Amino acid sequence: MAFVGRKQDFPGSFRDAHPGTFNSDRLAITRGRTGIGIALACLSVFAILFAIVRKNRSQSLDAAITIKVQGHKNHSFDRLMHVVSWPGFPPQSRLLPPSISAALWLLGFRLEAVFQLLAWGTGGVSFTVKRAMKRPRPQSSVADNAIRVVAANIGGSSFPSGHVLNYLGVYGFLTYLAHTWIRPKRIRTTVVGVLLSLLALVGPSRVYLGHHWFTDVTASYMLGSTYLLAIINIYRKVRIRISRA
C-alpha cells in the first residue's frame, strides 16, 4: 500500500497546488487521535438497547417521546427535519457516499478516499441488524391522531435507523477528515459545524417524521459511533505507517 495516499506520488494534486489549505500528514495524525474506550462504551449501550427492544420493553417510552417531538408544530422546524433527512433517502443515499469518495480521490487524498468508502459499510451493518430484529415501524394513530407518519420511500424494519447509521459512517468520517486535514481555522470550523449539525439532527428528524422510534435512533448513534471510531483508528494506523515509509 505504499503508493496509496502519499503526497509525493501525486505532484499535480490539489494538495500540492494549495499548500496553505491542508495540514501536513504529521499534524493531521496528531489532531485525529481517538479513543477505543469510547467505542467499547457505545457498543455496550447498544447491546443494552438491543436487549430492551428485543423484549418489547420500550414501547411506552418510545410512543411518549414521538408524541412529544411531533408536538413541535413550527413550519421552519418541520422544513429543517425534512431537509436533514433528505440525503438518507434513495436515490441520493446511494449516490452521495461514492461521490464524496471520488471527490477525495481526485483531490489527491487517495487513502482517505478508500476509507471514506469503507465508512459507508454502515449500510451493511444496518441491513444485518434489521434482519435480526425485525421491529415494526411506527404506525399512524388514526383514532387520536397522536402519532403522524410522513409518507416516504423507506423499507426494512425499524431497528436500527439506517439513516443515523449511514450518517455516522459517511458524514462522521468526513467530519473527521475535515477536522484533521483542513488548515484555515474559519473554514475548518464552518465545515465541521455543518457536518456535526447534520449528525446531531438526523436522529430527531427520524422520530419527528414518524419513521423510527427513539430507541431505534439512539441505538444507531451508539452502533454508528462504534463503527466510526473503529474505522478512524484503522485509518490512523495505516496513515502513520505510510507517513513513516
pLDDT per position as a tens digit, 3-49: 333 443 333 444 544 455 555 556 555 555 557 788 899 999 999 99
Q: What is the pLDDT of residues 73-109, one digit of tens each?
A: 889 999 999 999 999 999 999 999 999 999 999 999 9
**Whole-angstrom distance, CA of residue 109 vs CA of residue 102:** 10
Answer for the pair 236, 34: CB distance below 8 angstroms, yes or no. Answer: yes
Query: Residue-wise over 39-48: b if at least 16 C-beta within 10 A, else e?
Result: beebbebbee
Name the phi and psi angles at 88, rounded to 5.
-90, -5
Q: How many residues does this entry show for the chain? A: 245
pTM, rounded to two decimals:
0.86
In a domain, 16, yes or no: no
**Whole-angstrom distance, CA of residue 160 vs CA of residue 24:** 38
In a domain, 228, yes or no: yes
In a domain, 12, yes or no: no
- Counted domains in the chain: 1
In a domain, 162, yes or no: yes
**Whole-angstrom distance, CA of residue 28 vs CA of residue 242:** 13
The pLDDT assigned to 140 comes to 75
Segments forming the whole domain that contains residue 182? 22-244
In a domain, 220, yes or no: yes
Cell triple for 236:
490512523
Q: Cis before residue 136, ω within 30 degrees of 0?
A: no
**Whole-angstrom distance, CA of residue 227 vs CA of residue 134:** 21
In a domain, 5, yes or no: no
For the chain, what percent of residues have pLDDT higher than 90? Answer: 69
In a domain, 113, yes or no: yes
In a domain, 152, yes or no: yes
